[in-house]
Amino acid sequence: MTGDDASSLRLSRRKLLVAAGAGSLSIPFIRRARAAEAIYVNTWGGPWEEAARAVLFDPFTQATGIEIKTIAPVSFAKLAAQVRTGVYEFDVTTLGVSELARANHANLLDKYDESKIPAASLWPGAVTLNGVNSHAFANVIAYRKDKFPAGGPKNWAEFWDTAKFPGSRCLQNYSARVLAFALMADGVAPTDLFPYDLDRAFKSLDRIKKDVRVWWSQSPQSQQLLRDGEIELIGMWNTSAQQLIDQKVPIALSYDQAVIDVAAWVVARGTPRTRNAWRFIEFAVQPERLAQFAQRNNYGPMNPASFKSLPPEVVARMPTSPENLAKAVVLNAEKLGPQFDVMAKRFEQWLSS
Amino acid sequence: MAVELTRPALAAEASALPARALLVTLLRPPVILYVPAALFLAAFFLVPLGLVVWMSVSDPEFGFGNYATFFASRYDLAVLARTFQTAFVVTLASLVFAYPIAYVAARRGGAVGGFLLGVVALSFWTSFLVRTYAWMVILGAKGPVVGLLTALGVSPPPRLLFTTFAATFAMAHMLVPFMVLALYAVMKRIDESYMRAAASLGARPLRAFLTVYFPQSLPGVVNGATLVFITCLGFYVTPTLIGSPQDKMIAGRIGQEIEQLLDFGAASATSMILLAAALALFTLYDRFFGLDRMWR
């Protein structure tokens, strides 16, 4: 709790409680709002932030004079804590489909309306549950080529097939994505995936549990495990897998049955810097800027106009290129919405029992 | 010792003239010395702790629902039981590792003792996170242990990382310094002449150790075991990073309740249960051994 901005200390009972409590001694140290305006953006750090700094943050500051400060890493829990306590460490963050649905349900997000970003500045379907869709990433199958020289699993059923593809497996500790893998492994067609048949999904997971040695939680961790050969098969983000390929690590990835998740920009409800936060989001999803940001990270831009400025060989590497998208499924926030809490709890219990 | 000598005098004053005694107590130099620390603790420990207590009974609604849910959940109880079980095994293991080190350091003294204590201190000053990553390298698929086993012809080489063994071993390693220092402090005060007396009465070294030395070192064992056990109850990073998925301890559960389930009330209640467990152990210790002995 760095309490970086005095203007967030509006008086309310809850805020007073917090101010009187955890923050009491820090009040004298809280910086006064400076003459120059600033907004605080929650980032993933590393290459993500470098790319965002170069093509989104610095150009925004040049265009508007509003400084952008960053806080890493992305923390969903912190977003919730901020709104509860009224002490804002960041104003803007990106959320995946499942966090977006849960955050919106928990009333953590500033409501979108056309006064925030004019519709002319966006595209049809740009806004989902008060988040502005920015870029897509795919959860793909990747494997060590040295372990499977004749080719690894092409879909989740094969990933589940430990007889045909023996080896240590690794999946993300993230229920909404893993349950989609499990259902497709059990033969559910991508079109029938949502909402999830939870019983069937967990039954399918039971079959692979003992072969999953690690459940990764941070993307550098997933890369390290695969790079070191600690595991041989993994369900991971296309962005991190592509980085490994670019570093000449002997791995391959498959977009078949990839589970596509969408990152959306959101504004934390109640932050005193709402107006500038929305201005930044509007700026960040403009076609060419978003195209550059997506290209640097191998994301798929959600603004359809972005593709116009990209060469075809770059588009081919993106999870939302027409060819890759046809083989993939996109997580459906609306149909999964009521399931997220239940599945997260059940998944945690399943994992550690 | 000086402080202890004044206690009876203070007590006498207190019973005679309570108000004056209080004033005297308040104006005594030690009080002035501890006021900054007390204020600091109140602001940055007691008040936040109070907020956690409040959250545990008020979120999402007022009452003990979060606690009831915890104790009604077989899953949560299993995590709690596993936490205690792990702490027990880790305590035992760190005692086995630490006792010989402390014994040699205390009895040999000089360069050997200094060297041993230096190594322990260095390890003590290295952060838990760094040491956890070090174990990831050492036990990893391309690490020295697997390399050695492969060279010795063990095929296929065993998977060491992400196992209960790895987590337990690493936690024991991290807590060995606590145990060594607790043991050393007690062992250093054991009078060498007892051992010489035992020898002169015909006891072989092992017999002398078991009947003369070991019983005298027991206070150190109890101190060390209490410190290690309670520290281990709160371990988070190590089991999460290098344990098997089934090794979740209660601190990991709290992290998950906040990070993934956004259930601040349940996380607060779980934290209070962990705190209560630690306090219960301290109370037992205080009852049987006296809390002030831990730091002597």
Does residue A33 have a pLDDT over 90?
no
Q: Are residues A254 and A227 in the same domain?
A: yes
Do A210 and A226 share a domain, yes or no? yes
Q: Are residues A102 and A19 in the same domain?
A: yes
Q: Cα–Cα distance between B70 and B59 in angstroms, integer?
A: 14
Residue B244's nearest CA partner among A351, A224, A172 is: A351
Query: In this predicted model, which residue has the larger pLDDT, B21 or B59?
Result: B59
Q: What is the mean pLDDT of chain A?
A: 88
CATH superfamily of B73-295: MetI-like (1.10.3720.10)
**Chain A, window 215-244: residues with a beta carbon less than 8 angstroms from a chain B beta carbon:** 215, 228-230
Distances in Å between the Cα of A178 and the Cα atoms of A35, A77, A140, A236, B165 are 47, 21, 11, 10, 27
A173 has a pLDDT exceeding 60: yes
Is the same domain home to A109 and A201?
no
pLDDT digits (tens, 9 = 90+) for A312-352: 999 988 998 889 999 999 998 888 888 988 998 899 889 87
Question: Whole-angstrom Cα distance, residue A90 to residue A79?
Answer: 8
Question: Over the range B175-209, which residues count as b (16 or more CB within 10 Å of their CB) and which as e?
Answer: bbbbbbbbbbbbbeebeeeebeebeeeebeeeebe
Contacts of A351 in chain B (CB under 8 A): 245-246, 248
Between these two residues, B202 and A353, which has the higher pLDDT value? B202
Residue for token digits 């609306």?
A334
Quote the tokens at residue A57. Answer: 């943050």
Could you tell me which chain A residue has the CA closest to the CA of B79? A352
Residue A4: C-alpha distances to residues A28, A31, A87, A99 (Å): 11, 6, 8, 25
Mutate which of A230, A341, A350 to disrupt the B interface (most B C-beta within 10 Å)?
A: A230
In-domain check, residue A323: no
Residues A160, A75 within the same domain: no
Contact A77 B258 (CB under 8 A): yes
- Asked if residue B250 lies in contact with residue B80, where contact means CB atoms within 8 angstroms, the answer is yes
Confidence check: pLDDT of A25 > 60: no
Q: Is some CB atom of chain A closer than 8 A to the CB atom of B159?
A: yes
Indicate whether A211 and A98 sit together in one domain. Answer: no
In a shared domain, residues A212 and A333: yes
Residues 61-100 of A with CB under 8 A from B: 75-77, 80-81, 84
Residues of A within 8 A of B142 (CB-CB) are 228-229
Confidence check: pLDDT of A5 > 60: no
pLDDT at A4 over 90: no
pLDDT band at B200 (very low <50, low <70, confident <90, very high): very high
> B5 pLDDT band (50/70/90 cuts)?
very low
In this predicted structure, the answer to whether residue A248 has a pLDDT above a threshold of 70 is yes
DSSP B239-280: HHHHS-TT---HHHHHHHHHHTT--HHHHHHHHHHHHHHHHH
Among A84, A106, A352, the residue with its CB nearest the CB of B79 is: A352
Number of independent structural domains in chain A: 2
Domain check: are A153 and A208 in the same one? yes
Spatial CA neighbour of A101 closest among A312, A260, A338: A338
A117 and A236 housed in the same domain: no
- Torsion angle, alpha carbons of B177, B93, B270, A171, to 10: 100
Binary contact (B47, A213; C-beta < 8 A)? no
Which residue range forms the structural domain that includes residue A101?
6-135+262-316
User: For residue A217, what is the domain's CATH number?
Assistant: 3.40.190.10
* Residue whose C-alpha is closest to residue A251's, from A226, A219, A230, A228: A226
In this structure, are A55 and A103 located in the same domain? yes
The secondary structure of B74-94 as a DSSP string is HHHHHHHHHHHHHHHHHHHHH
pLDDT tens, residue by residue, B150-194 = 899 887 878 888 999 999 999 999 999 999 999 999 999 999 999
Can you give the length of chain A in residues?
353
What pairing do the DSSP bridges indicate for beta strands A131-144 and A127-128? antiparallel
**ipTM for the predicted complex:** 0.73
Point out the residue among B47, B246, B262 whose CB comes nearest to the CB of A21.
B47
| Residue B268 near residue B53, CB atoms below 8 Å | yes
Whether A322 is in a domain gets the answer no
Same domain, yes or no: A129 and A145: no
| 3-class state of residue A302 by DSSP | coil
Report the distance separating Cα A250 and Cα B173, nearest Å: 35
In the numeric block, the tokens 């116009």 are attached to A308
Q: What is the pLDDT of residues B110-147, one digit of tens each?
A: 899 999 999 999 988 989 889 999 999 999 888 899 88
B237 pLDDT more than 50: yes
Residue A90 lies in a domain: yes
Smallest CA–CA separation between A118 and chain B, in Å?
32
In the predicted structure, residue A306 carries a pLDDT above the cut 70: yes
* Selection from B169, B172, B191 nearest residue B180 by Cα: B172
* 8 Å CB contact of A229 and B259: no
Q: Do A183 and A292 belong to one domain?
A: no
